[in-house]
Structure 1
Amino acid sequence: MMDMLIAHISDTHITNEVAFKSYAYDLIVNEINTKPFDLVVHTGDVTNNGLREEYEHASYLIKKIEKPLVVVPGNHDARNVGYELFEKYIGPLYGVYEFDNGVIIWLDSTIPDLSDGRVGGYKFKWLKEKLEAYSHKKIKIVAAHHHLVPLPDTGRERNVLFNAGDVLDLLLTHEVTLYMCGHKHVPNVYRVEDLVVDNAGCASCRKTRKGDVNSYNIVKITDKGVKVVIRRLTGDEESKEHNPIRPKIFIPRGRRLLRIVQISESNVSDRVYFRKRTLENAIKAINEKYKPDIVIHCGDVVEKGIERYYEKAMEYYEKVKGEKIIVPGHNDISYLGYELFREYFGEPEVLELGDFVFIPILSAQYETQIGVVGRTGQKMLSRMLEEFREKFRIVIMHHNLVPVPGVKEIGYLEDAGNVLKIITENETELTLTGHGGNTSAVKVEKSPIINAGSISWELHRNPFGNSFNIIDIYEDMVVAFEIQATWGSRKVLGMWKIKSEIPWL
C-alpha cells in the first residue's frame, strides 16, 4: 500500500465579520499547497451563518486549495437553509471518494438551525450500504461534522450526534480505519478499539478554547497504522500514532485474579415494568453459579427515591453475598432519595481489595438524567488515580462516558470530555458505568470502558434482554461477558490485553 497523506481542516467560519481570521486561513492553505498532501478534507462549518454572501466568499477562498478536496457540511453551514446553498457553492452534502486501497465516505450530520447532529434513518442506511459496498477496501475513512466521543475542554458536553452510539457501533463493526470530524474547535485524537477518531480544531475562527490557537491536523496512513499530527499556527506540534491490534482474539494465560459482577438499572418498584422474578433469578445465579469477588451496581437501584422502594431494594441486595459497591443513579436521588440512599446503602467509598482499588464517582443530579462530576470531582478523580497508580484501578460511576448504541445521547455527563481525558491520560485499567439501558464495551486509548444494561427493568434498550456483566481479570488480560438475566445465555463483550509493565503484577 502507498502512504496516504491528508490535510484535515475544519471550522473555517468564513464571513465578513471579525469572527473570521483571513490571515490564519491563508497561512494554513499556503502550508497545504506547499506540502505533498494527497487530499484535503474539510469537516464543516465552512461558513459562519450559512448566508449567500458567505458562501460566495467561501467558494472563492476554497478554490485557493490546490489539492483534491472533500468538504463536509457543518451546523453553521446549515443555518438559514444554507444546506441548499452548500450544494450550489461548495459541493454535494454526502458522497464517496476512492483512492488506490481506500475510500472516504462523507455525509451530512447537521440538523437545520440546531447545533446538534444526527445521522438519521436514511443516511444511516446509506452509510451502512456504502461500508458494505467498500468492505474490500483496506482503508475505510468516514467523515462528518459532529464528534463521536466526548471532547475535553469544550465546556458543557453537548452537540454530539444524537445517535452517536449507533454510528460508533456501525464503524467498529465494519472495521473503519478513521473517523474525521470537527465542530467543537478542539483538536483531539482518540483510539477507540482499532478506530482512530480524529478531531480537528478551528482553522480560521476567533473562537478557540482555553486560549488555544488556530490549527489543522496532518493525517498519515501507512501499512503500519495511522499517525495524526496536530499542527498549530505557532509551529507547535503534537502527534499520536495508532497501530491496529493483531491478533484480535486472545487466550488468557495464568490464573484469574478477580471476578466482578456488574449490574445496573434494577429500578426496584411496585410498577409492572419492574421484573421481580428476573432480579430474583439473577441474584440466585450470581450467588450460586458465578460467585464473584465483588458485585458492583452502577446506579438506578430503585425506580423512584421513595422509602417503600428502598425497603424492597434492600431486601433483594441483602441477599447478594460478599463485597458490594453501589453508586446512585439519577432515579435513586429523586424525591427523598438523596437521604434514603445514604440511609440504606451508605456513602460509596474507595475500597481496596489486595492489588485492586475501586474508586466510586458520584455523577447523578437531582431530577434530571443529565449527570456531572464537576471540577472538584475531576480533581478528586485525578488525585485518586495518581495515588493508587501502583494498583489495578477500577472507576465506578452511573453515567456513560462513551455513547451507547440504541440510546439518544441526552444522558451524557456535562463534563464527559474532561472526565474521559482524565481516565485515558491516567491509563485507568477499567471503568464501569451503567446508564442508558443497553450494554456496551469499548477500549478508548488504553482504558476499557464497560456499560451495563438493565438487570430487571422492562423499559430497556437491549436486544439481548435484561442482563448483567461478568468481568474476569487475569494476569495478562481482562475478559467481559454479558449474561442474559432470564436464561443465563452469554456473549463476549470484549477481551483486552493488560500492559505488561503494570507494577502490581
Structure 2
Amino acid sequence: MKMRIKRYKFIPAVFLLLVLLVSSGPALTAEPSTVVEFNPDDLVIWAFGDIQPRNQTDRGFFELSVEDVSLMKNVDASLCVGDIVQNKTGENPAESFEWFYNTYKRAGIKDIFEIAGNHDARDIDSYLKASGKPLHYSVQYGNLIIILLSDEKNSSGSDISDGAFLWWKNILETNRDKNIITMTHSHLGGSGFVYNLISYRNVQGSERFTEVLKKEKVELWLCGHTHIPSFFGLSKRQISSLNDTVFMNVASIREDFVFSDAESRFIT
C-alpha cells in the first residue's frame, strides 16, 4: 500500500503464520475468551500503542495514522498495547480518552482490544470507564487466543498481579491446541531486548512468566513502552529457550525523537 504520509510507517509482521480454523467468530471476556466474527481466510490485525499525546502536535500523529489506516478495508481488529493517554498534571483524562476513541472510529475498524499502560494506570477508573473492558481479558479468533494483561499500578514497569498471572497460565495449559498471543505494555524480562537490563521497566515478576514459557507455547508476545524506533533493530526477538516465542515491540505512535516516525504493525 502506498502511504500518503511518508513519515508514518506500517511495519508488516507477516512472520506469524497462523492456521485459523473456522469458528463462529472472535470472543472477548474478563475470564474466559470472547469469540469474534472474522474472515477465517485472511485475518489482519493492526497493532499499535504509546499514543499518549502531550499536546495537539502529538495528537496529530495518531490522527494521521488513523487517516492512513482507514484506506485499508481488510483489517479485522486492532490491538492497542497501552499508554493511550499521557495523564500529565492538569490533563482531563475523560476528555483525552474521548478524543482517542472518537479518532479511532475514523479508522473504520470495528473491534479494538486495548490494555492499560503505566500512564493509563495513573487513573485506572477513567481507563475502565472509557474502555468498557476489564484490566485482563482474552479474545478468541478461531484457533487463535489473544490474552491481554494491563498494568495495574502507576509505575515504570508493568505490575501484573499473581491472580492475573495464574489466569494467564491456566489459559496456556488448557489450550495447547491453540495459537496464543500475549500482550503486555512493558517488555518481559529475559525476552532478549537490550533494554531488559533496566529491570524496573520490565514486567515485574517476569520470571513467573518465563518459567511457564519454558513449558507452554506462546507464538507471539506484543509490548510497547520504550518508544524506540524500529530502525535500531531492537523491536523483535525470538528466544529458543522460551519455546521459540517471538517478542515484538510494536513501536510508538508518538514521535519522541527528531529521527523517529510514528510506527505500528500489521499482523497477518
Asked if TM exceeds 0.5, the reply is yes
**Hey, what's the Cα distance between the residues in 2 that align with 1:23 and 1:114?**
27
**Contact 2:192–2:239 (CA<8 Å) still a contact in 1?**
no
The answer to whether 1:140 aligns with 2:188 is no
Tell me which of 223, 231, 256 is aligned to 1:207: 256
Between structures 1 and 2, the one with greater strand share: 1
**Hey, what's the Cα distance between the residues in 2 that align with 1:77 and 1:167?**
23
**Counterpart residue type for residue 130 of structure 1:** I
* Aligned positions of 1:26-425 closer than 5 A: 26-35=63-72, 36-49=74-87, 51-67=93-109, 68-79=111-122, 82-92=123-133, 93-108=135-150, 110-137=151-178, 139-148=179-188, 149=191, 151-152=193-194, 158-186=200-228, 187=230, 188-193=235-240, 194-203=244-253, 205-208=254-257, 211-220=259-268
**Hey, what's the Cα distance between the residues in 2 that align with 1:77 and 1:91?**
14
Q: What do the CA deviations read for 1:14-47 (whole angstroms, capped 9, x no partner)?
A: 45x25x5233212221332322222211100001
CA drift at 1:90: 1.6
**TM-score w.r.t. length of structure 1:** 0.39
**Who is 2:7 aligned against?**
none
**Contact 1:154–1:184 (CA<8 Å) still a contact in 2?**
no
Higher Cα Rg, which structure? 1
Q: What 5-or-longer segments of structure 2 have no aligned partner? A: 1-18, 20-40
Figure out how many residues of one structure are paired with residues of the other and give that number. 212
**Hey, what's the Cα distance between the residues in 2 that align with 1:198 and 1:217?**
10
| RMSD across aligned positions (CA) | 2.4
**Hey, what's the Cα distance between the residues in 1 that align with 2:221 and 2:195?**
20
Q: Secondary structure at the match of 2:204?
A: coil
**Hey, what's the Cα distance between the residues in 2 that align with 1:97 and 1:162?**
24
Q: Secondary structure at the match of 1:117?
A: coil
TM-aligned CA distance change 1:103 to 1:156, over 3 Å: closer
TM-aligned CA distance change 1:155 to 1:52, over 3 Å: farther
Q: Secondary structure at the match of 1:140?
A: strand
**Hey, what's the Cα distance between the residues in 1 that align with 2:61 and 2:197?**
24
Determine which structure has greater relative contact order: mean sequence separation of CA pairs < 8 Å that are 6+ residues apart, divided by chain length.
Answer: 2
Between structures 1 and 2, the one with greater helix share: 2
**Contact 2:66–2:104 (CA<8 Å) still a contact in 1?**
no
**TM-score w.r.t. length of structure 2:** 0.71
**Hey, what's the Cα distance between the residues in 2 that align with 1:59 and 1:83?**
16
TM-aligned CA distance change 1:171 to 1:34, over 3 Å: farther
CA drift at 1:86: 1.0
**Who is 2:48 aligned against?**
9
TM-aligned CA distance change 1:180 to 1:102, over 3 Å: same
TM-aligned CA distance change 1:9 to 1:212, over 3 Å: same
Q: What do the CA deviations read for 1:43-90 (whole angstroms, capped 9, x no partner)?
A: 0000111723322322322333322211111000011xx111111112
Structure 1 vs Structure 2: percent identity of aligned residues? 22
CA drift at 1:128: 1.1
**Contact 1:172–1:195 (CA<8 Å) still a contact in 2?**
no
Q: Secondary structure at the match of 1:11?
A: coil
